[in-house]
Amino acid sequence: MARDLQGKKVAFLATDTYEESELKKPWQALEEAGAELELVSIKEGEITALNEQELKPGAIHPVDKLASEARADDYDALVLPGGVGNPDKLRMDPDAVEFVRAFFEAGKPVGAICHGPWTIVEADMARGRTLTSFPSIKTDIRNAGGEWVDEEVVVDGGLVTSRTPDDLPAFCAKLVEEICEGEHAAQARSVA
């Protein structure tokens, strides 16, 4: 992959029970493309993935910054990995929700996979957008004013979404492309 993201800084927002592959694969793709990466979380220290097939703890990832201290102004883009418990915990944290909303308000690219769009729903940023996710949250997206589609990867004005780990190759490629393009004026259109 070309090093298209030199000079770009990307935040990953996650907490315990994140889906390991949905953090690891985008992280690798963005790092290979030259981006500087930071893990933002709602807890200090480290976060632990959940191996959902075995229902056992997975990889451990060090936290770089708390959501309460992080500012969207310091980043060029945001990535929201899935896992069932991870976004459910994030959407209950006002600092995490505000952090997500700030990326939309600034027109910056956001990538979300699997259950990751739950935090976008909580930030009230799904309204008027077309996106995909793990099928179990399609009703939440529709109820939040978004249009849910069953596609491998969906791009809507700087927002990149995918359904499951099977979609990671397409998700990672589009994520690099959207971050390379930079800010998207259409990203802020759903901000009320």
Check pLDDT > 70 for residue 22.
yes
Q: How far is CA 37 from CA 23, 40, 64, 129, in A?
A: 11, 10, 9, 27
Among 115, 172, 180, 184, the active-site one is 115
Among 114, 172, 180, 184, the active-site one is 114
Q: Is 114 annotated in the active site?
A: yes
- Measured between alpha carbons, how far is 151 from 19 in angstroms, rounded to an integer? 20
- Measured between alpha carbons, how far is 38 from 135 in angstroms, rounded to an integer? 29
**Average pLDDT in the 46-68 region?**
90
Looking at residue 129, its pLDDT comes to: 96
**Residue 130: HSE in the Cβ half-sphere, 13 Å Cα cutoff:** 9
% pLDDT > 70, the chain: 94
- The whole-model pTM stands at 0.94
Q: Is 180 annotated in the active site?
A: no
